Amino acid sequence: MKLDSLLTKATQYGEKTVAVAAAEDEEVLEAVAEAIKLNLASFLLFGDQVKIREIINRNHSAAAESPKLEILHAESPAYAAELAVRAVKEQKANVLMKGNIPTAGILKAVLNKEFGLRTGNVLSHVAVFEVPGFERFTIVTDAAMNIAPDLNQKAQILKNAVEIARSIGIEKPLAAPIAAVEVVNPAMQATLDASALTLMNQRGQIKDCLVDGPLALDNAISFEAAEHKGIKSEVAGQADILLVPTIEVGNTLYKSLVYFAKAKVGAVIAGAKAPIVLTSRADSAESKVYSLALAICSAK
């Protein structure tokens, strides 16, 4: 499947609004202008209004006059994050997007007890990849938020990924909890958690997906590798979701796919009251637009 299909899908959800925190950022505004051109959403831009206006007038004259764009001044990036988060909480916007503010800064606003977007669930990062040579999407979680999740957190991270998969048309995703080996080794916590998640799925504690693990990365995505090991599994060789054991594994896999495999990616933080787009400077403008499309598809 192609990430371009999400651009079409995202336009079919009626008018959605994205609140951008600290929007005074060249790359973020490039993605906003492109999203407006594609008719993906309307935008509330919180931040330094002089800088925002200057960037838009200089680089995006078509978007400058668009009724889909509103600029709301905030004295500091932290205050812009608070205002953007509040706009989502008050349902003036359906999606939150990070601008020129550190990741930890916006996540702290999202987790704020008074005005944040907590639901009681674990929030987690879900990345959807279009990998050259692979027909299906590959979903990696969690590459960017939860550092070393325990079993309970992994179960919730998986549920978040299943929701995202279903929002883009994968009705019953196949999920592989990834470890270094495909057998249970009591010395490797990832294999113990993977087998518990598999049983939780069989007992109906994790729904709307098929979980089988532990699987090593090769058995999860390659039929040949799985066959070579004699693994009998409905997930092996065709996993839609790769649930990684730690942020280091996920982050390295994410960056390997982008830099070595030239994969395209869109990603969101799921599990909050609304999806959150956390782009970084290193992301391409295309990737930022895919992330916006993914967030719009998964917004309630």
Ligand X SMILES: CCCC(=O)SCCNC(=O)CCNC(=O)[C@H](O)C(C)(C)COP(=O)(O)OP(=O)(O)OC[C@H]1O[C@@H](n2cnc3c(N)ncnc32)[C@H](O)[C@@H]1OP(=O)(O)O
Binding-site ranges for ligand X (CB under 6 A):
103-104, 107-108, 111, 122-123, 143-147, 251, 254, 280
Q: Which is nearer to ligand X, 93 or 258 (CB)?
A: 258
- Smallest distance from ligand X to CB 281, Å: 10
96's tokens:
């939150």
CA distance 285 to 186: 44
- Smallest distance from ligand X to CB 49, Å: 28
Q: Which is nearer to ligand X, 9 or 108 (CB)?
A: 108
Q: Which is nearer to ligand X, 20 or 157 (CB)?
A: 157
CA distance 100 to 141: 24
- φ/ψ region of 38 (left if φ > 0, alpha if ψ in -120 to 50, else beta) reads alpha
- Smallest distance from ligand X to CB 68, Å: 27
- Smallest distance from ligand X to CB 270, Å: 10
Q: Which is nearer to ligand X, 18 or 107 (CB)?
A: 107
CA distance 118 to 111: 6
Which residues fall within 8 angstroms of residue 24, CB to CB, at 6 or more apart? 47, 48, 51, 52, 55, 99, 100
- Smallest distance from ligand X to CB 106, Å: 9
3-state secondary structure 238-274: CCCEEECCCHHHHHHHHHHHHHCCCCEEEEEEECCCC
Strand partners, 264: 130
